[in-house]
Amino acid sequence: MKKLLCFFFLLSNISHLTSVFSQENIYTVGFQIKPMLVSSFFNTGKGEVIQRNIDFSVLQQSGYCGGMIIRRGFTKRFSMEFGINYVKRNYSLTLKDSTFTDKSHFTIIGYEVPVMGMIFLRVAPKIFMTTGFGLSCDMYPSDVETSDDYFQHYSQRHSMFQSAVLANLAYELRTEKSGYFNIGASYHLPFTNIYYTNIKFLPTNIVQMKLPGNYLTIDFRYFFYEKPMKPKKEKKKK
């Protein structure tokens, strides 16, 4: 009998937690910071061209994406997220032959407006697994140029406005007093190459490489706790 009472007590607590941490009829605001990872498996590694025994390479290095998010919950398991992000991509440029090596660095700044559909699966009373898919409208303000005594580099954007596919997988801890803590990983895949990099090794060698612009990140996200919105009462007609 005691075991049965404990079971019903535990069941009632889980039911209470479900209602407290449900995303149904929720509007909440959050912030995120997403350091970038370099991975050849996800095509975020080194681009390389060899011409006249000279090795030209561009390697995407550390960078980050950060910004604000707004979450709108429709049901217990489905929400939509949208926001605005600042993105900083760092690259290293290397020219090398049998007797000479020269290196340089450049940075590409961009802005993103992502829209994602999120699905939640409860794995513990306060912990949820989340997966999301969506699209992003990306903006690149300007071209990038660097130079040295031995080379000239110019990266030209494909266009000012571009689009990309988004995917996310994460775990989320929800608390009533401290808000929601989310940690996971995201992948950003543009539909086209974001820039075309032209390198001139003085005086005559010229090569061109495409910068795909996709990136893999580790995500740290936080949302404020908000109570569900009360449904509007319909006015009775006289």
DSSP 8-state secondary structure symbol assigned to residue 233: P
Question: Does residue 234 lie in a domain region?
Answer: no
Higher-pLDDT residue of 170, 42: 170
Residue 15 has pLDDT above 80, yes or no: no
Question: Does residue 8 lie in a domain region?
Answer: no
Question: Does residue 24 lie in a domain region?
Answer: yes
Strand order in the sheet with 151-157: 144-147, 151-157, 195-201, 205-211
**What range defines the domain where residue 67 resides?**
20-223
Of 94, 119, 111, 215, which is closest to residue 165 (Cα–Cα)? 215
Higher-pLDDT residue of 48, 154: 154
What is residue 51's predicted lDDT score, i.e. its pLDDT?
A: 74
CATH at 106 = 2.40.160.20
What is residue 4's predicted lDDT score, i.e. its pLDDT?
A: 39
DSSP 8-state secondary structure symbol assigned to residue 227: P
| Strands annotated E in 46-100 | 46-51, 54-73, 78-96
DSSP 3-state percent helix, strand, coil across the chain (nearest 5): 10, 65, 25
Enumerate residues 6+ apart whose C-beta is below 8 A from 146: 93, 104, 105, 106, 153
Question: Does residue 231 lie in a domain region?
Answer: no
What is residue 5's predicted lDDT score, i.e. its pLDDT?
A: 41
Indicate left, alpha or beta for 5 from its phi (over 0: left) and psi (-120 to 50: alpha). Answer: alpha
Question: Does residue 9 lie in a domain region?
Answer: no
pLDDT digits (tens, 9 = 90+) for 86-98: 999 999 888 887 7
Higher-pLDDT residue of 231, 158: 158
Which residue bears the tokens 């660095």? Answer: 105
Number of structural domains (the chain) is: 1
Residue 229 has pLDDT above 90, yes or no: no
Of 129, 115, 108, which is closest to residue 184 (Cα–Cα)? 129
